Amino acid sequence: MRVALYTLGCKVNSYETDRIREGFEKIGAQIVSFTEPADVYVVNTCTVTQMAAKKSRQILHRARRLAPSALIIAAGCYAENDSAELPEGMVDFFVGNQEKENIPQLVLEAMASRPELEGEFESSQQEDGHTRAFLKVQDGCRQYCSYCIIPYVRGPLVSKEPGEALDEAKEMADKGYREVVLTGIHLSSYGRKGTMTDPEAESSLGQLITAMNEIPGLERIRLGSLEPGLITEQYVAEVAEADKLCPHYHLSMQSGCERTLRSMNRHYTPQEYLAAVELLRSKWPAVAITTDMIVGFPGETDEDFEESLAFLGKVGFSQVHVFKYSKRAGTVAARRPSQVSEQVKNERSERAIAYALELSEKFARQFVGSQRQVLLERPCAGGWEGYTDHYIRTVVKVSDQDALQANQIVQVQLQDCLQQAGEIYLTGVIV
């Protein structure tokens, strides 16, 4: 049985696709590229924006064109929320977020009633080419931001037991992964049954990080997207001695305008966000702060946008992912009459992206002349490409590419800061 997998959306989806892949490998399936003929196509979908939903539809259409008689499975958020948009017969099965790991068994049962798909199973253990492993330790969200559909399709807050998470991290280290990325739909809620303000946390993310820091063979712990409310004196104290924790925090911002944040139903002010950043920098002065920014949110005025743009400079982000507001049916924001025109969204997006690029260069340039460790990922023109612990893309120049390999950590003397296709990167040589 040949199985092709495709992932859209967040790092949680990436983790869940890896688990689906492992499930298929256990039953002897052969994992093939999504561009190849297959018996089964599994698309792990996303619906967080209109573009993500459109992409999910396109990939499902592509799978059906590639193999008209194959089993097509749509899994995840688009499957839960928007399956009615697809024509009849496009997809054989829709699988919700809580049932993804059952997909291999579902396929086996389906094949029993589809004998034309039965074939001799081949054992195939294929490497996915990743140098970092994603470890999902949390699911669900109860923040109910006014623009977001995710709380309605991801279910209640659930956290992986610390012992189970540590065992999984140990397995990843034993497989040779140097870096593990902790992910969750709302990672900051790890250990909590209610919201971020729930006083009865069963365990904390900081405690989990501290325990993971002791795993032999694991060299880097990186965190997925976090809320600024997580960053407290207690959290900083908990992780203070975790030397494997990367000095990189993706703190969700969305807007630097207080009025817009209230309209989004975000649970902090720009001042509270900045205080969280300053607390991190009091412990790790060169910490990288990355974020997301939504432009053109309903009701966002020119003044609101200028306030949000100026806030980027106040924080000094190392990277900003800029998104144009995308109306999602079923959310509060989608029903508001004060929608911003596409032209204005485009203009604001271009300005925000240009400014974010300036900030990225300023942050990266401070490391020129210093030495950092780089986790190599793939060969490129003139050398190897990888990332520093601050999550700065780095090209390591070497004359013999065969002398290095993916998943290797090397000490690099950083020599220059360059820009290519709207992305800032560093260059250097091994010392």
> DSSP secondary-structure letter at 29?
P
Q: What local confidence, expressed as pLDDT, does residue 118 receive?
A: 42
Centroid of chain to Cα 368: 27
Calpha distance 189→196 (Å, rounded): 6
Q: What local confidence, expressed as pLDDT, does residue 286 receive?
A: 96
Q: What local confidence, expressed as pLDDT, does residue 143 receive?
A: 86
Centroid of chain to Cα 385: 20
Sheet bearing 30-32, strands edge to edge: 30-32, 2-7, 40-45, 71-76, 93-95
- 204 contacts 231 by C-beta, under 8 angstroms: no
- 368 contacts 416 by C-beta, under 8 angstroms: yes
Phi and psi angles of residue 413, each rounded to the nearest 5 degrees, phi first: -85, 115
Three-state DSSP class for 18? helix
Query: Token pair 């495709």 is at which residue?
Result: 6
DSSP result, 308-369: HHHHHHHHT-SEEEEEE----TTSTGGG-S-PPPHHHHHHHHHHHHHHHHHHHHHHHHTTTT
Three-state DSSP class for 233? helix
Q: What local confidence, expressed as pLDDT, does residue 251 receive?
A: 95
Do strands 393-397 and 383-388 pair parallel, antiparallel, or not at all (unpaired)?
A: antiparallel
Q: What local confidence, expressed as pLDDT, does residue 97 receive?
A: 86
- 142 contacts 194 by C-beta, under 8 angstroms: yes
What amino acid is encoded at 364 in this protein? Answer: A
Domain ranges for the chain, please list them: 2-117, 132-365, 371-430
State pLDDT tens for residues 91-130.
Answer: 888 888 888 988 988 887 776 554 444 433 332 223 344 6
DSSP result, 59-95: HHHHHHHH-TTSEEEEEEHHHHHSGGGSPTTS-SEEE
Calpha distance 320→9 (Å, rounded): 17
Do strands 409-420 and 371-380 pair parallel, antiparallel, or not at all (unpaired)?
A: antiparallel
Q: What local confidence, expressed as pLDDT, does residue 367 receive?
A: 98
State pLDDT tens for residues 45-96.
Answer: 998 888 888 999 999 999 988 888 889 999 999 888 887 888 887 888 888 8
Within the chain, which residues score under 70 in pLDDT? 111-130, 193-202
Q: What local confidence, expressed as pLDDT, does residue 313 receive?
A: 97
User: Does the reported pTM lie above 0.95?
Assistant: no
Domain 2-117: CATH architecture, name and number where available = 3-Layer(aba) Sandwich (3.40)
Tokens of 410: 């090397």
Would you say the CATH fold of 371-430 matches that of 132-365?
no
- 385 contacts 373 by C-beta, under 8 angstroms: no
- Given the candidates 2.40.10, 1.10.260, 2.40.50, 2.20.25, the CATH classification of the domain at 371-430 is 2.40.50
- 64 contacts 90 by C-beta, under 8 angstroms: yes
Q: 132-365, what's its fold?
A: pyruvate-formate lyase- activating enzyme (3.80.30)
Q: What local confidence, expressed as pLDDT, does residue 17 receive?
A: 92
Q: What local confidence, expressed as pLDDT, does residue 112 receive?
A: 57
Alpha-carbon separation of residue 351 from 15, 298, 324 (angstroms): 34, 18, 12
Q: What local confidence, expressed as pLDDT, does residue 187 receive?
A: 93
Three-state DSSP class for 188? helix
- 63 contacts 70 by C-beta, under 8 angstroms: yes
Q: What local confidence, expressed as pLDDT, does residue 200 receive?
A: 53
